[in-house]
Each structure stands twice: as C-alpha cells, then as structure tokens.
A and B are shown apart, each in its own frame.
Chain A
Amino acid sequence: MHSHVRPNAHIALRLPSGVLKLVEATPNTNINLGKFGTFNTNQIIGRPYRLTYEFLEQEDPKAQPELRVVPASELHAIALGSDHATPQESRDDDAATEGGVAFDIVGDNGEVIMRNNRLTVDDPSRQTLSMDEIEELKKAGSGSGKDIIEKIMASHLGIEEKTQYSLAKYTLRKSRKYLKRFTVLPLDIPLLTEYVTDKEAYRIMELRDESLGLICSWANIHSGSTSRVLMGEDGTSQIGGGRWLLVDDTGGLVTAALAERMGILYPHEEEDTSDSEGEEEQDAPADTEQENVQNGTTAAAAATTPATTATPDTTAQDTPMPDASLDILGVTAPDATNGTSTETPRQRRQPRPHIPQSSAQTNTLTILHPNNQPNLSHLKYFGFDAGDPKPGHPLYTHLKSLSWLQLLDPTSDPTYIEPELIPEETLATMKSSKRGTYYRKRRRWERTKRVIDETRAGGFDGLVVASSMEPVTILKECVPLVKGGGQVVVYSQNSEPLVQLCDYYSKERRTAFIARQFGPQHNGRTRGNPIDLSEEDELAEEGDEEEDFPVNPTLLLAPSLQTARAREWQVLPERTHPFMTSKGGAEGFLFTATRVLPVEGKVEARGIRGGKKRKISAEVSVEA
C-alpha cells in the first residue's frame, strides 16, 4: 500500500520549512509551491512515495522546471552540518578529539582547533547582504536555492567565529528558508493528524498520534473480515462479527483511523504485480484524458456518478475484504438493474448490479451522529464522500451511520417508515423518472431500516467515543449495545468529564447500586449501603435513582483513566536532547473499560481468608 503515487490520489508535500501541503495528484496539472516553485504532477505520478525532489537550475526561466531526486546522504548532510556530509558517520571519533570542550583550544602553531562562543557578536550588521540584495538573489536564482545560501553564508562576517555546531544550525536554518525542495508523502492517518493539528487542532479534539494509537489498541480494533456474526444466548441477539460502534466528533478522523486498522479505509488494493501494473497503467492516462473531455473539468470527475468515473481503478471495484454484502446481491438484483439505468441516463452502459449501501455484515463501523448527517469531512482525503459515496470504496458497504433519534426513537424518524409498495405492473406503466424516485426511496428505507435494526440489536465488539457530548449520556445508551467482553473506550481532551465518568462506575457506587437493587433484607452484610430503608423510603429514593445512578455501574469492569504523550528528541552527533519546544494544548485522556455481564442476584465477595485480610479482599474484589 502507498508504494507509488497514483493518479488522482491525495498526497502531501513537505516543504523544507516543515510545512505540509495537501494536494490532489490530478494528472496534467501544475502544483504551485509559492516561492519554492511550480511543477507538473506528471513529474511525480508513478514515482515512489517519500522521495525528496529538488528544483534544478535552469537557463531558461520559462521552461518546464526540472526535478531531481535528492539522495539520502545529501539530505542528512544538512542536518548533520557540513562536516558530516559523507555517508560514513564514524566521525564521532574526530569530534571526540576535537569537541566536548567549551574553550578555545589553540594548537602549538597558534591554529584554532576548537572554537567556543566567547567571541560571538549578536549583531544583525554582521550580515553584509541587505534585505533587498537577498530579495534580488531570490529573484535571480532559478535553481535549488543552494547558491543563495552560499552567498548569504559568504557574506556573513562572523561565519569564521561560529562554532561547529552553531554553524550547522545556521546552515540548517538557511536551508529551511531557501532550499527549493519538497518531499512527497502518502496521505495517511498520522500525516493527516499532523496536518490538522497544525491548522485547526480543535476540529479533531486535539487528538495526537499516541492517543489514536491507544484508542485503536484498547478498543481492540482489527480486521474482522473473517469474523462471524453469532447468535446470542437467547437465540435472537447477534454478537461480534468485527463490528464497532462509534461516536465521532472529530470530522471523521477517528473513523478513518479505525477503518485503516480494519483494512477498509483505502479505496483499492495497490498490490498489483509489476507486470500487470505496467499494462494497467499504460491505458490509464488515456482514460483520464478522455474523461476530462467528457466532464469538462478534472475536479468534477471524481465527484460524479460511479458509472462515469470508470477509470480502471474504480472499475476494478476490488473491495479488499470479501463481504457478505454480495449475498444480498442476488436478492436485490432485479430492482437494482432498473435503478442504475435511471441513475445513469447519459450512458448506455452495461447496467451494473446494485450493491446496497451499508450492507456489509462483518468488519463494519457504525457511526452515531447528533445531526441528520454524519460529519465525516476528513474521509474525503481517502476518496470517500459521505454525501455521495462511491460503491467501489470499501466504506460504501462497511460504514453505517444513524442519528441518535434513529437509535433511540426510530418511529419518529420518517425514513424508518416503509414507503408504499407499488406492484410491478403499475410500476411498468410509470415514467422512468418516477420509477427511479420510487426505487430510490425504497432503497433508502431498506438501508435505514437495516442499519437501525441491526444497531438496536447490539452485540458490538466495542464502543469508541470521541465526542464533545456528555460522555455519561452516551454510555448510558451505548454500553448495553456492546457484547460481553467487548471494550469501551472514551477519549476526551480534558480529564474532568472522564473523571466524572469513572466516578459513575466507581466501586462504591456499584456497591450502593447493588444494595439498592436488592433492598433492605441484605443490607446488613454489604458495606456502605443504606440500612433501615422502609418501603416508603425506597420509593422516595427512586427519584434520586437517575441522578445517583445515571448508568448501570455493574455493566463495566475495571474502568480506568490514562493519558500518554510522546516526546520528540533531536538526535545528532554530540547534540542529542529532547526538542526544546513542542505543542501544548489538551493532554488527551482515555477512559477504558470492559463490558461485562453481571450475574443475576446477589453476589458476595468475602475473599477466602479470615480476619483482617478478609476485609481488604472484600473491598478489592468489588473493585475488580
């Protein structure tokens, strides 16, 4: 995956300054990197990711700029400082004889062996080039920017006085500013996280890599493509099947992260063998060009109906996971053929069988959203538009969404009500547009009903929450939908909502909850429960019930709270230390717990030893 830059893929470009730029690699278009220059996408399409390119110097400024791949040794040379330019880095020895001392060491012949910063003068006038002159240079230079840096360095009066390290730092700083390079990166979750964090961290609840990693691990996210949906104890409920329930207020970032771990995020498998790859790609440009003609603009191409954007890649329609959706194909095929014919009136292509949306049985994500439509804007970078999903994308079948209203009170949602069934004969006499509307309505209802019924049946493998809503209200509704042994993970920027949540599942509250359930006759034996509650008292307490026990505290085991932060270090010869500055902001906390099935009736936990020990063990046992 992500081996080569595919046409029309979303990619990221890292500029020397460290800034990321997200672009779509549409063939035959120019990408403008501002002061760094402009290049054509065809110069990077088909090449591997992670290469760094440099603009080559050119005689004619009007000519198509040429790019050069910068070798690794050259890339490292900048960071290491001029001395370390060679690939061998065993100069540590030289540095050891030379460095490590903070004084000027003057050799016998008066030659300075090692400098320190005693003589450093902090004065801008030491750079003899004026601002205008540098601007002049920038305009004149058409190449890699190395010449500018050289000139600037040459014009610095104090360059000789700089220590080896400060010189390296100075060069690095100038390189970041003037080098005309960029690196092509695949747009994946860590990169998208970094990009959004730099721009508008609040939109993704200030999630960092480490938090996302923890979420995926604790929620036990993995591919459930071969999992089975099994019958529950009662013979009706469903359990497992690699289905996760999700509440996502990060614009789809968490959804994408989970989908990546489940193998349903990327539109197509990129595992072509090299032979077939060549063959396949040979006709690719032709196809796209043709398409450009058809649709006028290239940008519109991606968003139009599935049938028209039939590049070889999408026609391949290779959902990497075999999904059970295909079972349903047989059932819905007749109306589907009609449906697609109305959908694509322009082209008389072979009607493609209709694959119902959100129809996968296993390896699915179900999203609960507060508005009518889920906000999954970040999924657009992965070729999935929630408003107009393409059937070729794995998320088309594996992503399901429903609103809170649909979950809690489906009958008040109009899409849940079955549209009138029109017999075939009547249908045949109808106008094709009307017939199309009819089928569309039918299908929407089928999809909505299927998703709602499935979700309400529960048995999910896990619950992941990253929401600005009060977590306790979410868990009240969602925890019962998780299967026994399933994981519950709640992310929040701040600790307070999760601390409160932990308290609602605390062992003391659980003990009190159980005591209240079983009434006064057992009271003497449990610690810390109200005794002597007469019947009336108990009725009076009912009112508090909701307030004291907004959630059933016996449903979650071992609720715990954690936070993690990765600290980045600079590793350079003789200069290894943590970075001096990094991003602050939300710490990011994670609540984790396991859904359990409490036994019916009263449970005692006395421990097996007598005396004092007994007391302690009784307590910890409840804690468990």
Chain B
Amino acid sequence: MAPTVSPFLDPSTHASVNSLGVLQLKRDHLIPAVLSDSASSDYAEGNVVNTRFGSFTHSSLINKPWGTQILASVVDTGSRSGRSKKRKREANGDADAAGEVGAGAEETAKSVLKAATASSGFAHLVPPTPETWTLCLPHRTQVVYTPDYSFIIQKTRLRPGDHIVEAGAGSGSFTHAVARTVFNGSPGSEGNEEEQPEANGTTTRKRKRRQKRYGHVYSFEYHKPRAEQLREEIISHGLDPMVTITNRDVYADGFCLDDDDAPNADVIFLDLPAPWLALKHLTRSPPPPAVVKSVASDPSTPNAEASSSTLQPAPAAKPFRSPLNPKSTARICTFSPCIEQVQKTVAAMRSYGWLDIEMYTMEHKRLGVRRERIGLAEEGLRGANPSPATVQEAVQRLRDVEDRAKVFHGLQKEKQEQVMRRAEAKKRGEKVSARHDEEKEKEEKKKKLEGLPPSKHDRLERAKKESVKRPLFKEGRLVCRTESEIKTHTSYLVFAVLPVEWTTEDEAKARKKWG
C-alpha cells in the first residue's frame, strides 16, 4: 500500500475524504475541516461547516478541485435530528471548538441528503499550506507567524533532507512550516523509483548504495495535553511519517531519542522560556562542568537549582551522546520575546563555543490598497470623503450656499410681507381671494428655486443615482498604507552556528591527504 501523502505536501487535484481542506471566507478568515462523508452528523445533509456566509456541507466540498468557489447550501439548521446530542457535544467537545467541524463519531444508517444551493454566499476551497494553517490553527500558545518562520528557515539554511529539532512545539505553525521544508520524500514512498537507476544501468560502476537521508522534524513539547493535541493534528494532516513529537522537559532530559542516532540534528529551533538552559545538551562533546555551572548558576535564572541538580547524575548514568549531526555545521535559532532572555542565551552560546552569533528582530507589515475618493460628488456615498477635492470646488460650494441663502431670505421676506399685507387687509376689512394668491405664490417660488443650486437632499439623491453609473472601481486616487493592526514585536531571533568538531588528528589526516 502506498502511504498516503499529506495534503500539505502533495494536495492532489481534489479535496478528498478524510483529508484536511480549508474554506477561505475572507483573507484572514479561514476554516479548516477534515472532510467526512459519513452521515453521522446531526444534520440531514451530513457534516456541515456553518459560517456567516451560510452553511457548507462536506458533500459539497468533497471531490471538488482545489480552488473552487463553493456556493453555500440550504441546510436546515433549525431542526436537527438530535438536538440533545448536539448540546452534549458542545459540553465536552473541545475538538469541535478546535475547528475540526462536525467530527461526529457515531455512525448512523441514514443517508446524506443533497442540499440545495443557497444565495447566502460562497467560500473558496483551498488546499492546506503552512501559511493558511498558520492563519486558522487553534491557538494554544504564541504562534510563530509566517514572516518569522520564513526568515528563520532562510537564515538557518534549512533544506530538504535536513533534520531539525524544535523545542517548544506550541501551536504547531512552525512544525508545519519546517516539515514542508525538510520534506524530500518518505522511506516507503519511492522504493520502486529508487531501483530505476540501477535497472537502467546508468554510468556509475562505483556508485554505492547510499542510504538516502530523509528530512525529519523532532518536536519536543513540555506540556502534555499540548503535545497530545499536536500529535493528533500531525496524524490527521498526514505528516506523521516525518514528524516525531516527544513530550519532554528538554532542560533536564536533553534531545536524544531512544533510536540509534536520532535526532542527528542539523538545525535547532528553541522557542523556550530559558533557551540557555537547554544549550548544555546541544554540544558535540560533553561540556566542561565549569561552563555548565556558570551558565546555570546565574542567580536570576529560574529553575537553575532544579536543572543543575538533575544534570549532575545524568552524565554518570548514560554515556554522552550528541544530538547534533556530527557531519554538518549545526545551525541554531532561539526565539525569545524579552531582551534579558537574549542576553543570557547569547552569553551561554559564547560559552559553549557557538559562532557567528547574530540577533534580529523582524518588522513585518501588510499594506492595504484602496482607492481614495474625495470630492463633493461623493456626498452621502459610502467609503468616500465628501469634502471638496479642490479649492475651486470649495469656492463653488460656498457660492452655491450663498446664492441659495439669498433666494431663501428673499422668499422669507416676501412671505412675511405678504402675511403683514394680509393682516392689514383683514384689519381694513378687505376680502382677498387667498387661494388664488397662494397658487400664484407657489408658482413664483418654484420659478425662483428653479435656477438655484440643488438642495442637500437633492444632491444626495443625485449622487446616489449617479454613483450606480460611475465606474467607482477606477475612480479616485490609488493609495496604500500599513494596515491598522501591526505586530510591532514578535520575538528576538538569535542565530548561531556550531562548526563540525575538528581535532588535531583530523587535521593531520587532512594534511596528509591534501598536502
């Protein structure tokens, strides 16, 4: 049986059953769902993802090509077949809250209804990538976001086939990102392909059957429930062949696994509160006790007592084994939010012989692009600034106001005079045909108002009417600006390298060989 490939690495052409798909509603609003075709949900239509743009049944997502625009379906969300069941699920269902929508376990015999299309909205079905996953993963701890992890991968020269140790797995965003990067196939997946070169007898007589090194992520998490959750996630994402999750306190117990030479790491990423306490385990040869003590005995270090006391018996119990790949330069990155952590980490790195120590902060921002429409024509319209666009427009508006005011004052005056006239006439006992007068007045008023600039009400009406005809999408000035929320500080990134150990014997050997 061919091992199933993770949708993160090779998503195939379609969303398939029991595999992760992501519904993208808005740019930053994505909902992950492991698609299921079982009819075990509370809805007659099978499993459903409910969103503010409507309900999406899993059956409408399964076997759709990635990237398809999916229309919402009409789902009777009111009358579920088992209301009480639903309530019960809510009570104890953390898994549902975590976004794996509708992972109902019970299998029932009823068939899934085909739902009709609703007009409430649509979403796009996109394949999962570490980037989309970072946007929608269930938060457990601080997330390492794309700008940070992309820079870390670049700076640590992480490549396909490398082994990486990650301590403090947290929410798993970094785990996914590096799993993608180190991926270069998995042991079972290309057995037949590997034989081909030999079958074809290509060129090389002296080629040795070399064990290909497959990329692997060794992830350590101190917090047991988090480690468990991440393990489940990794399995449901099909990344388990290349990600090993270990629940362990790395300060005390280090990074070596029970397998022969795992982790054999090329790259180390430490997202820990006290990375300097883990560094003693990341050496090529047993560190001198004095150095270990000096790093750990810093009075301000928390747990210093505990970890140094646990350290002492450890070397005696087990022979030293380095978790680092002896044949490659080890690259490390630590991720700490506070400058004090950085100072201690860097000091410890210097003590343990790490080189090229560099520290960076990442300034990342996203820019919003829009068209800024300014002008009196925008009055009453949404998303525009209705103040005058030019001096000329302002002057014209002032003139108009003045003109209108003048006419109105005139009219008012006239009206007043008329009232006075009438009163006087009444007093004099004269009888005037009021109706005739009024009509005449109206006529006159209308005439006067005709030439006038439009009233505000008219203007709004007109602007609204015209806006429908205007190509608003290309009007106004195109501008871009930083989005309103930016992450001004994520963490300090410390990078360093530890060269391959080089002894005098090695040097003598190399000298003999190369002269």
Contact = CB atoms under 8 A, between A and B. Distances in A.
Interface of A: 1-4, 27-28, 42-43, 45-52, 69, 71-73, 75-76, 80, 87-90, 92, 186, 188-190, 209-210, 212-214, 216-218, 220, 222-228, 230-233, 239-240, 242, 260-263, 269, 271-272, 274, 276, 281-282, 285, 312, 315-318, 320-322, 326-327, 329-330, 352-353, 483-487, 495, 499-500, 502-503, 506, 508-509, 511-512, 528-532, 548, 557-558, 560-571, 573, 576, 578, 589, 594-599, 603-609, 617, 620-621, 623-624
Contacts of B119: 604, 606
Contact of B122 (A189, A227, A621): A621
B159 interface: yes
Contact of B69 (A72, A217, A597): A597
Task: Report whether over half of chain A's contact residues are helix, strand or loop; otherwise say mixed.
Answer: mixed
Contacts of A352: 202-203
Contacts of B25: 621, 624
Nearest to A565: B363
B67 A596 contact: yes
B514 A596 contact: no
A506 B383 CA distance: 14
Contacts of A27: 514
Contacts of A597: 65, 67-69
B321 interface: no
Given A240-B13, A568-B359, A607-B52, A562 B367 contact: yes
A186 B146 CA distance: 26
Q: Which of A43, A88, A571 has the most chain B CB atoms inside 10 A of its CB?
A: A571
Interface in B156-213: 157, 159-162, 177, 180-181, 183-186, 189-190, 193-194, 196-197, 200, 202-204, 206-208, 210, 212-213
Nearest to B356: A50
Contacts of B52: 607-609, 617
Residue of A220, A262, A617 with most partner-chain B CB within 10 A: A220
Contacts of B87: none
B20 interface: no
A487 B131 CA distance: 11
Interface string B358-402: 111111111111110000000000000000000000000000000
Contacts of B131: 217-218, 220
B471 interface: yes
Given A260-B159, A571-B343, A571-B359, A214 B473 contact: no
B210 A226 contact: no
**Of listed A2, A222, A322, A529, residue having the most chain B CB within 10 A:** A222
B177 A217 contact: yes
Contacts of B493: 566
B10 A564 contact: no
The 8 closest A-B pairs by CB, nearest first: A484-B67, A485-B66, A213-B154, A263-B160, A213-B150, A48-B500, A508-B473, A217-B150
A312 B365 contact: no
B308 interface: no
Given A499-B480, A502-B369, A624-B27, A224 B122 contact: no
B294 interface: yes
Nearest to A84: B350
A76 B149 CA distance: 28
Interface string B131-160: 100000000000000110111111101011
B120 A607 contact: yes
B298 interface: yes
Contacts of A92: 298, 347
B26 A624 contact: yes
Chain B binding surface, main DSSP class: mixed
Contact of B181 (A48, A261, A532, A560): A261
A224 B150 contact: no
A329 B10 contact: no
Contact of A573 (B124, B210, B343): B343
B354 A567 contact: no
B244 to A, nearest CB: 19
Contacts of A329: 200, 202
A569 B358 CA distance: 7
B71 interface: yes
B502 A46 contact: no
Contacts of A1: 159, 161-162, 328
A212 to B, nearest CB: 6
Contact of B207 (A48, A51, A318): A318
Given A1-B328, A566-B151, A608-B54, 7 more contacts: A51-B502, A281-B513, A548-B474, A558-B24, A565-B364, A569-B359, A623-B27
Contacts of B419: none
A220 B6 CA distance: 14
Nearest to B152: A213
B291 A508 contact: no
Interface string B259-276: 000000000000000000
Contacts of B515: 28, 42, 285
Q: On chain B, which size bracket covers the interface?
A: 35 or more
Contacts of A285: 513-515
22 contacts: A2-B157, A3-B328, A42-B515, A47-B502, A76-B350, A210-B154, A223-B185, A232-B13, A263-B161, A281-B513, A315-B204, A326-B200, A508-B473, A509-B473, A509-B474, A548-B474, A564-B147, A564-B362, A565-B364, A576-B339, A599-B68, A623-B26
B120 A217 contact: no
B120 A322 contact: no
Nearest to B215: A223
Interface string B285-304: 00000110011011000000
Given A210-B147, A272-B210, A606 B120 contact: yes
A624 B350 contact: no
Contact of A508 (B363, B371, B499): B371
Q: Which of A209, A485, A532, A558 has the most CB of B within 10 A?
A: A485
B481 to A, nearest CB: 10
Nearest to A228: B10
B91 interface: no
Interface in B18-58: 24-27, 29, 52-54
Contacts of A189: 154, 157
Nearest to A218: B131
Nearest to A233: B65
Nearest to B199: A326
A309 B212 CA distance: 25
Contact of A528 (B72, B151, B369, B472): B472
Nearest to B65: A484
B130 interface: yes
Contacts of A561: 366-369, 480
Contacts of A565: 362-364
B491 interface: no
B508 to A, nearest CB: 12
B298 A90 contact: yes
B499 A322 contact: no
Contacts of B212: 269, 271, 320
A239 B13 contact: yes
A253 B53 CA distance: 43
Among the interface residues B11, B125, B190, which one has the most CB atoms of the partner chain A within 10 A? B11
A231 B13 CA distance: 8
A528 B146 contact: no
Given A72-B355, A240-B11, A623-B27, A598 B69 contact: yes
B157 A190 contact: yes
B130 A242 contact: no
B183 A75 contact: no
B127 interface: yes
A604 to B, nearest CB: 5
Interface string B492-515: 111001011010001100100111
B112 interface: no
B237 to A, nearest CB: 14
Nearest to B77: A608
Contact of B353 (A73, A240, A558): A73
B106 to A, nearest CB: 28
